[in-house]
Amino acid sequence: METVEEMRTETPADSRRSGDARVQAGAYLLELSLDWIILRASENIHHLLGESHVTLIDEPLGRFVHAQPLHDLRNLFSRLSGTTGIGRAYAVRLSDDPDLVDIAFHLSDGRVLLEIVPSCGNFGECFGSVAGLISGLASDGGQALLDNGARRMRALTGYDRVTLVCEGMRAESSRGSFARPADFSLDLPVIVADDEAQGIALFPRRSEDTSAGAALMYAPSEPAIQALRDGGIRAALRIPFSSDGLGGEFRCDNRAPREPNFELHAAAELFAQLFALRLEIDRLRNR
């Protein structure tokens, strides 16, 4: 395991506990007990671990992955227990598969949600630009701060449109026009990679005792997918933020699919939380 990174974030509320829970295509999901026993697995997991999703259930994860990455992940998890933090690990070789993966995991309702995507292979590039983007906001205030925050988030993420809402105010930075404005009422996961790709079911498909709805990449509902398509959106990224009671959200939309990138998401979270501090400073100045 080359790099392990930890960040505190807010997990979006999601009350769904459906037997139809799915993960988006291009990602793998394991739902584990606190002892890291596999309770659920996405039905594509054999591509990663070389074992059927049926075989994995009620078995310890250590039976199917290498000892060193498991040890590193559990150490990181021990630092996250009891928090809303997300643990991330980059360029990991979990099994004999030669391809490296990036991993994000967090605790939800007494379950460990372990999400795995192909490694982006460019660790550090996203984080390297956050400080400069934030420092450029030092002299801004009011609506100008919101406008420049949206513009700089778009520069960081590369999405076609970034919309920012905060305390009843709204700002947008867009490359070209969209059919519809961003709809913040949609029940979306944190990351939507491609709303035209078919989601992957989780096994077992029972309706009770699942925390999959809190996953970063759970598959959106059909109404949410249709709303995105109607707006000309193929991929989306949600970044909520808060500071001392001040809350808001960045919504990034893209006309083309985007490969899931856990480092980009973490860098966007960092930018959003630093931006929230700039908002708080601006509010104090104007009291």
Segment (H or E) for 46: helix 46-49
Contacts of 78 (CB under 8 A, 6+ apart): none
Most confident of 122-126, 133-137, 191-195: 191-195
- Kindly indicate the confidence band of residue 83, based on its pLDDT and cuts at 50, 70 and 90: low
Q: What is the pLDDT of residue 78?
A: 85
Q: Write down the pLDDT at residue 243.
A: 81
Q: How many alpha carbons fall within 13 Å on the CB side of residue 119? A: 19
CATH topology of domain 3-118: Beta-Lactamase (3.30.450)
Q: Per-residue confidence at 125, pLDDT binned at 50, 70, 90?
A: confident
Distance CA 133, CA 155 (A): 9
Q: Where are the domains of the chain?
A: 3-118, 127-285
So what's the pLDDT on residue 18? 44
Burial of 33 (0-12, 13-18, 19+ CB in 10 A): middle
pLDDT per position as a tens digit, 256-266: 999 999 999 99
pTM: 0.88
Q: Please, are residues 8 and 83 in contact by the beta-carbon 8 Å criterion?
A: yes
Q: Do domains 3-118 and 127-285 have the same CATH topology?
A: yes
Question: How does residue 279 score in pLDDT terms, banded at 50, 70 and 90?
Answer: very high
Q: Which of 110-124, 144-158, 203-217 has the lowest mean pLDDT?
A: 203-217
Question: pLDDT tier at 211 (50, 70, 90 boundaries)?
Answer: confident
Q: What distances in angstroms separate CA 93 from CA 39, 53, 179, 192, 266, one per listed residue?
A: 22, 19, 42, 25, 21
Is residue 3 predicted with pLDDT exceeding 50? no
Q: Could you tell me what percent of the chain has a pLDDT over 70?
A: 90
- With a cut of 90, say whether residue 6 has pLDDT above it: no
Model confidence over 99-118: pLDDT tens digits? 899 999 998 888 999 999 99
> CATH number of 127-285: 3.30.450.40, 2.60.40.10, 3.30.470.20, 3.40.50.1240?
3.30.450.40
Residue 252, CA atoms < 13 Å, CB-side half-sphere: 29
pLDDT at 41: 96
